[in-house]
Amino acid sequence: MQTFLQYTILGLVVGGVYFIAASGLVVTYTTSGIFNFAQGAIAMLAAFTYWQVRWGWGWPAPLALLLVLGVLAPLLGAVLYQVIMKNLRGTSEVTKIIVPVGVMLGFLSLATWIWNPTPRTPRLFYKFFGANATVKIFDVRLTWHEIIAFFLAIVIAGGIAFLFRRTRSGVAMRAVVDDPDLLQLNGGRPERLATLSWAGGAFLAALAGILITPIQGTAMSANALTLLVIDAFAAAMFGRLKSLPRTFVGAIVLGLATNYVIAYFPANKWTWTGAFRSSIPMILLFVVLLVLPQDRLRGATVLRTRERFRMPSLRTAWIAGLVLVVVVWALRTIMATTAINTLAYGITLSIIALSLVLLTGYAGEINLAALSFGAIGTIIVFHYGISGTGNDARMTLWGILLAAVVCAVVGALVALPALRLRGLYLALATMAFGVFVSRMVLTEIGERELFGIKFSIFQGGSLTIPRPEIGPFDFKSNDSFLMLATVVFALMAVGLVSLRHSNYGRRLAAMKDSPAACATLGMSVVRLKLSVFMMSAAIAGVGGVLMSAQLGSVNLDRFDIFLSLVILLLTVVGGIGYASGALFSGVLFGCSILAIQNTLTKLGSDYKSLEAVFGFLVSAVSVMPATIGVTMGKNPSGAITDIVESLEGIKKSKPLMLTMIGLQVLIWALAWQGVINNWHFVIFTAANLLIVPPLGGAVLKNMALKKAGVEPPVPPELIGIDRPFTDDDRLAIEHALGLDAVPLPVSAPVHHQEEAAHAPA
Amino acid sequence: MTIIEPSGNGHEAPRPDGPHAPPPEHTLDEPPLLQLKGIRAAYGPIEVLHGVDLVVPEGSVVALLGPNGAGKSTILKVCSGLLQPSAGEVHLAGRIVNGASADQLARLGVCTIPEGRGIFPNLTVRENLWMATMAGVPLDHVEEVAYARFPRLGERRKQLAGTMSGGEQQMLAMSRALAVNPALLLLDELSMGLAPLVVANLYEIVAQVSEEGVSILVSEQFARTVLGIAQYAAIVLHGNVTREGTPEELEDELSAAYLGS
Ligand SMILES: Nc1ncnc2c1ncn2[C@@H]1O[C@H](COP(=O)(O)OP(=O)(O)OP(=O)(O)O)[C@@H](O)[C@H]1O
Ligand SMILES: [Mg+2]
């Protein structure tokens, strides 16, 4: 009884904090239609800031609270909305999910950057009034901190209810959901309300972060703190992101469930109790998503989104694939071993990213846990796909195929119940799956016995995976493995393009646009969704297997949910509709960022006096993926679209293309022969790619125009100098600046009108 | 792009004393309350209005008539500020208001009841009326006007607006127009999905509002009903205003092009 009471009360407290975090999600989603994945990261950032102010600088608690909760957190929320989230109107659901994810990742790297995760003295976060300020309630000893947390939850529940029912701004926030245009016609300002709600949401996140950190009692870790608040997603979903009372119930159930597991599961007999406890929120999230009736997601009503992808022809795909293989082959000849390994790692990540191109780019479904399928594939290969031992150990082709099949089956198991989910709900379901795999499957490092069979899933916490041998080909050497990964990527990419051009691909595209319309046309949306999810999971599995083989040995950190998110983010940035977007993602994440960081670190050790500067730059680069991610709202079609468009000119002009290829071959030959070193190779290549096309393009154009007897056009900056400025030029400039489309702001006289219009009233 | 100073000194929006407005050939000191000049508007790449000219004189009721898809609702969206025109000028009491947002115009005294139901379905009746106060009138006043005019609303102030009948919903929308005392009232298809008797009732109210001196631009399929209270009518075809004039002047065109009788 004593235990029951104690854990019930503790469960209520934790549930209360979950509610505070979840209510913030509800508030922001209600007014802006954006699910704030960064909620956990905001909580984490606030906890760290509070620690800094309170114990780092030794401010008194009330002042520190005032600064963090009263000023910084709401400010952060408002700025987030104004600078980033506002631009998401009219974008697809993928973008609406990926941008907040980018913000979350950005905050994570920011926190690790500012607050070194492994400080010499552990960072201690105390409860309000200290851990010894306790009272006894029903014979249960409670700290004041816990009591405060619970009552704050109730106060906030009441406060938000009051706001939404009894204040005009609160009612207007609900009105925005119904019809933002109508609210504007009433004279309301939807933008301002959304900013306000984001400020409120960030405040609630910060409060939750500060309350829960000492209750959990662990050393402060950015990732763990972020995930802690992500656990509250289940509660928010229970309220379907709308109903606060239900969210409250969900949060309390969540808090109680996790605490009862600690209380009643024998921890020493069942070694998985701890893992199970931490998985409960995700299991509940999955169940809640499946069981609750679907609510109409607002994003789904956007008919025409700003994203657009043009499919390359199959011929272009073959050529591109071939070029990729040749380029990697040529690069390989001049690269050091470490560079070859890094590149191979990047390309295996690109294969995983390809699974997202198929799933998200073609079919419009979302998977936030691609690497978890990679983990499953790796486990299968480890157990069933290795022949030989020690140095002779090789991965078998059958092992790889088996991994693909098992991943497809697991993909089906995840997708089958989630089939009626779409967009955000499906994304959250896959995230729950991913966190579940990380917390429960990959922590299964010991030996277990089931029906007399002894097995251990993730043996010893680190799996050694050898390189494959396929038929007569042995891919043990770094060179050959790089080529294998490249060829696999190229073939899969071409396969995807041809799939997209097939009847099946067209049905996928139709489903992406409107599942409802597809169903009424008699297409089996269920089969389509299931098959595409299975295929995608299989690709991710193969990619994961190859990644593990490249790395040699892998632990659970390699399959972290945050890494999955980075890959998705970068693929969207690259252009989720293209295989090249996947290549961009894998290579940028697996190679470029690492390469830049390594270079900077090396420079730092070479020039000791500048070490701090280079150290700063290393950290700055780690924030890079997130930074590019959050720009997605402005350019939702991805970087590849821009690059392809800029390459159009080269494709049209044969001489230019030949010049560039010739130059590049020359540069490569020089490097191969050791005439120039690799640094020069990189610099010359960059010059060839960046400077030659515009230069050559301009020369060629002028030549062509001269031949046709037309004066070459005067560049805009010389108009007025080389020839007089005309009205046409002015119009052209206005058009280029978009001035003719942008309405002028209201001119001053309107304010006179205001008095006039109201005067007779 | 330049801001063209409108003619007239224009810091007043005078209301005429009587319900009957001056003719469209207004003098320089008395600009029409609303004037569209060469308005073009587009949804994305598709241009829907191709240079619309329209005048709503002070205190008059102007009816927009035309077949489905002609662009009537789009004209009203431009006037209310929901859709920015790609070319042309919107003059409000002699002032150019291009670029003003819908909420700015609403606070300036433009009241719009959009197509469909101009209500928030998930808010209660009272909360709906509360939203009307953002144009600058107190809630007490709005409630008083609404419940006095439509006692049925008073009985249901706690009911969710979305659960009321179509006629009641339109009453709720109309009570906003009555309460905020606008300078210009924009109405889009009040009649949509309503019984003829209810429509007639609603237009009686519109006529009374007009008698208080409010200028009204109304788009309507029930041409007969609306022509009974309109001083002017404009026929919209394929994104152009093809004819403008008094109902009598337009009688022939109306029968031929629109009413089909
Ligand atoms: N949001 C929109 N996006 C794209 N096109 C639109 C949009 N709204 C209207 N249109 C198009 O603009 C044209 C004019 O539409 P509008 O709603 O103004 O017509 P209307 O005269 O009000 O017709 P109705 O009598 O049916 O209400 C139509 O061809 C319509 O298809
Ligand atoms: Mg219409």
**Contact yes or no for B127 and A759 at CB 8 A:** no
Lowest mean pLDDT among A227-236, A717-726, B198-207, B238-247: A717-726
Bridge partners of A396, per DSSP, are A469
- Identify any residues that bridge with B47 across adjacent strands, giving them in sequence order: B42
d(CA B74, ligand 1 centre) in Å? 6
pLDDT at position A494, please? 94
Please, which residues have CB within 8 angstroms of residue A455's CB and are 6 or more apart in sequence? Answer: A383, A447, A448, A449
Q: Which ligand is nearest to the CA of B75?
A: 1
Q: Which residues contact A753 (CB under 8 A, 6 or more apart)?
A: B10, B11, B13, B92, B93, B95, B97, B108
CB contact under 8 A, B97 and A755: no
Centroid of ligand 2 to alpha carbon of B221 (angstroms): 9
| pLDDT tens digits along A327-370 | 888 888 887 788 888 889 999 999 999 999 999 888 888 889 99
B118 touches chain A (CB under 8 A): yes
Q: How confident is the model over A4-10, as a mean pLDDT?
A: 85
CA of B48 to the centre of ligand 1 (A): 8
pLDDT of residue A753: 43
Q: What is the mean pLDDT of residues A176-201?
A: 88
Atom of ligand 1 nearest to the CA of B70: 21
**Residue A138: CB atoms within 10 Å:** 11
Band of pLDDT at residue A302, cut at 50, 70 and 90: very low
- Could you give the CA distance from residue A327 to residue A477 in angstroms, rounded to a whole number? 19
Instruction: Please tell me if residue A747 touches chain B, with a CB cutoff of 8 Å.
Output: yes
Nearest ligand, measured from the Cα of B74: 1
Burial of A555 (0-12, 13-18, 19+ CB in 10 A): middle
pLDDT tens, position by position, A552-564: 888 888 898 888 9
Reduce the secondary structure of A533-566 to three states and give it as a string: HHHHHHHHHHHHHHHHHHHCEEEHHHHCHHHHHH
CA A44, CA A49: separation in Å to the nearest integer? Answer: 9
Average pLDDT over residues A636-650: 63
pLDDT at A746: 42
DSSP, collapsed to helix, strand or coil, labels residue B63 as strand
Residue B116 has what DSSP assignment?
S
* Residues A447, A450, A452: CA angle, nearest 5 degrees: 100
Range picked from A122-126, A271-275, A463-467 for highest mean pLDDT: A463-467
Phi/psi of residue B186, each to 5°? -110, 120
Asked whether the beta carbons of B34 and B75 are under 8 A apart, the reply is no
pLDDT given at position B125: 94
Return phi, psi of residue A755, to 5°.
Answer: -60, -40
Q: Which is it for the CA torsion B242, B247, B251, B257, positive or negative?
A: positive
For residues B52 and B71, give the distance between their C-alpha atoms in angstroms, rounded to a whole number.
10
d(CA B207, CA A149): 59
Mutation to probe ligand 1, out of B40, B64, B68, B74 (largest number of atoms < 8 A from CB) = B74
Q: Do A757 and B132 touch (CB under 8 A)?
A: no
Question: How many whole angstroms from A177 Cα to the centroid of ligand 2?
Answer: 23
According to the model, what pLDDT value does residue A641 have? 63
Minimal Cα–Cα distance from A191 to chain B, Å?
A: 11
**Number of the ligand 1 atom closest to the C-alpha atom of B72:** 21
Are A144 and A133 in contact, with CB atoms under 8 Å apart?
Answer: yes
Phi, psi of A662, rounded to the nearest 5 degrees: -60, -50
Note which residues in 19-58 of chain B have CB less than 8 A from chain A: 44
Cβ-based neighbour number of residue B215 at 10 Å:
26
Does residue B261 line the site of ligand 1, with CB under 6 A? no
Distances A108 to A1, A104, A202, A283, A647 between C-alpha atoms, Å:
41, 6, 16, 24, 35
Chain A CB within 8 Å of residue B122 CB: yes
Q: Is the CB of B73 under 6 A from ligand 1?
A: yes
Q: Report how far apart, in Å, the C-alpha atoms of A332 and of each of A327, A338, A470, A530, A548 are.
A: 8, 11, 21, 39, 21
- CB contact, 8 Å: A172 with chain B? yes
Contacts of residue A539, Cβ cutoff 8 Å, sequence gap at least 6: A351, A352, A354, A355, A358, A404, A492
- Pairing between β-strand A453-455 and β-strand A448-450 as defined by DSSP bridges: antiparallel
> In a mutational test of the pocket of ligand 1, which residue from B36, B39, B46, B48 has the highest number of ligand atoms less than 8 Å from its CB?
B48
Q: What pLDDT is attached to residue B13?
A: 41
Beta strands across the sheet bearing A468-470: A386-387, A394-396, A468-470, A473-474
Question: In the predicted model, is pLDDT for residue A296 greater than 50?
Answer: no
Q: CA A59, CA A443: separation in Å to the nearest integer?
A: 40
β-pairing, B215-219 vs B184-188, is: parallel
Tokens of residue A188, six digits: 């309301």
Tokens of A652: 């049209």
Does B99 sit within 8 Å of A743, measured CB to CB? yes
Residue type, A473: F
Report the residue of B2, B131, B180 to disrupt the A interface, i.e. the one with the largest count of A CBs within 10 Å.
Answer: B131
Length of chain B: 261
Q: Ligand 1 pocket: which of B52, B72, B188 to mutate (most atoms <8 Å of CB)?
A: B72
Q: With CB atoms and an 8 Å threshold, state whether B123 touches A175.
A: yes
- Considering every ligand atom, which ligand is closest to the CA of B221? 1
| Cα A158 to averaged position of ligand 1 atoms, centre (Å) | 44
Which pLDDT score is estimated for A752? Answer: 43
Instruction: Chain B: give the shortest CA distance to residue A186, in Å.
Output: 6
Other C-beta atoms within 10 Å of B53: how many? 14
* Among A1-10, A130-139, A644-653, the range of highest mean pLDDT: A1-10
Interface size, chain A vs chain B, as Cβ–Cβ contacts under 8 Å: 133
Q: Is residue B102 part of a domain?
A: yes
Question: Which pair of tokens denotes residue B197?
Answer: 């008797």
Please judge whether A175 and B114 are an interchain contact, meaning their C-beta atoms are less than 8 angstroms apart: no
Tell which of B103, B115, B158 to mutate to test the A interface (max A CBs under 10 Å). B103
Distance from CA of A726 to the nearest CA of B (A): 15
Task: Quickly state the pLDDT bin for A34 (edges 50, 70, 90).
Answer: confident
| Facing residue for B120 by CB, picked from A178, A189, A746 | A178
> Does any CB of chain B come closer than 8 Å to the CB of residue A734?
yes
| Per-residue pLDDT reduced to its tens digit, A446-467 | 777 667 676 777 777 788 888 8
| Residues in B touching A753 (Cβ below 8 Å) | 10-11, 13, 92-93, 95, 97, 108
For A110, the token pair is: 């920011």
Task: Assign residue B84 the CATH number of its domain.
Answer: 3.40.50.300
Contact A760 B213 (CB under 8 A): yes
CB-based burial label for A426 (10 Å; 0-12, 13-18, 19+):
buried
Ligand that lies nearest to the alpha carbon of residue B71, given by its number in the listed order: 1
CA distance A92 to chain B (A): 17
> Other CB atoms closer than 10 Å to residue B186's CB: what's the count?
26
Q: Which three-class secondary structure string do you get for A417-432?
A: CCCCCCHHHHHHHHHH
DSSP B124: B
Give the DSSP letter of residue A607. Answer: S
Could you tell me which residues come within 8 angstroms of residue B73 by beta carbon, excluding any fewer than 6 positions away? B115, B188, B189, B219
- Asked whether residue B171 is domain-assigned, the answer is no
CA A575 to chain centre: 14
- Reported confidence tier of residue B129, pLDDT bands at 50, 70, 90: very high
Give Cβ neighbours of residue A658 (< 8 Å, ≥ 6 apart): none
**Which pair of structure tokens corresponds to residue B142?**
């709005």
Question: Is it the case that residue A131 has pLDDT exceeding 80?
Answer: no
Among A172, A187, A745, beta carbon nearest to B107: A187
Residue B115 in any domain: the answer is no
| pLDDT mean over A623-636 | 62
| Structural domains in chain A plus CATH codes | 2-291 (1.10.3470), 314-648 (no CATH), 701-761 (no CATH)
Give the burial class of A430: count Cβ atoms within 10 A of its Cβ; 0-12 exposed, 13-18 middle, 19 or more buried: buried
Range of the domain at B223: 30-109+182-259
Q: Decide if B75 is inside a domain.
A: yes
- Yes or no: say if A200 and A74 are a contact pair by the CB < 8 Å rule: yes
Which residues from B are below 8 Å from A188, CB to CB?
103, 131, 134
Q: What is the pLDDT of residue B19?
A: 40
How far A669 CA sits from the closest chain B CA (Å)? 50
- The pLDDT tens digits for B50-74 are 999 999 999 899 999 988 888 999 9
Mean pLDDT, chain A, as a whole number? 80
Q: Looking at the predicted structure, is the pLDDT value of residue A750 above 50?
A: no
For chain B, how big is the Rg over CA atoms in Å? 18
Number of helical (H) and strand (E) elements in chain A, helices listed first: 33, 10
Task: Tell me, yes or no, if A295 comes closer than 8 A to chain B by beta carbon.
Answer: no
Answer yes or no: do A747 and B114 touch at CB < 8 A: no
Q: What pLDDT band is residue B10 in, cutting at 50, 70 and 90?
A: very low
Instruction: Compute the Cα dihedral for A750, A756, A759, A760 and give only its sign.
Output: negative
Angstrom CA distances, A110 to A45, A151, A622, B68, stand at 9, 32, 8, 56
Q: Which of B 146-175 lie inside 8 A of A, CB atoms?
A: none
Q: How many CA atoms lie within 13 A of A197 on its CB side?
A: 33
Taking an 8 Å cut-off on Cβ atoms, the answer to whether B183 and A185 are in contact is no
Contact by Cβ (8 Å): A179, A186: no
Q: How much is the average pLDDT of B191-216? A: 89
Assembly ipTM? 0.86
First-to-last alpha carbon distance for chain A, in angstroms, is 69
What pLDDT was estimated at residue A728? 72
Torsion sign across C-alpha atoms A402, A404, A408, A414: positive
- Look at A203 and A687; give whichever has higher pLDDT: A203
Amino acid at A475: F
pLDDT value of position B228? 86
Distance B240 CA to ligand 1 centre (A): 13
| Contact flag A187-B103 (C-beta cutoff 8 Å) | yes
B246 to chain A, closest Cα gap in Å = 27
DSSP string, A428-483: HHHHHHHHHIIIIITT--S-EEETTEEE-TTGGGEEE-PPEEETTEE--SHHHHHH
Residue of B nearest to A750 (CA): B95
| Residues A144, A127 contacting (CB under 8 angstroms) | yes
Question: Does residue B242 belong to any structural domain of this protein?
Answer: yes
Total domain count, chain B:
1
- Mean local confidence (pLDDT), A483-503: 93
Does pLDDT of A572 surpass 70? yes
Find the B73 Cα to ligand 2 centroid distance in Å.
4
CA A126/CA A214 separation, integer angstroms = 6
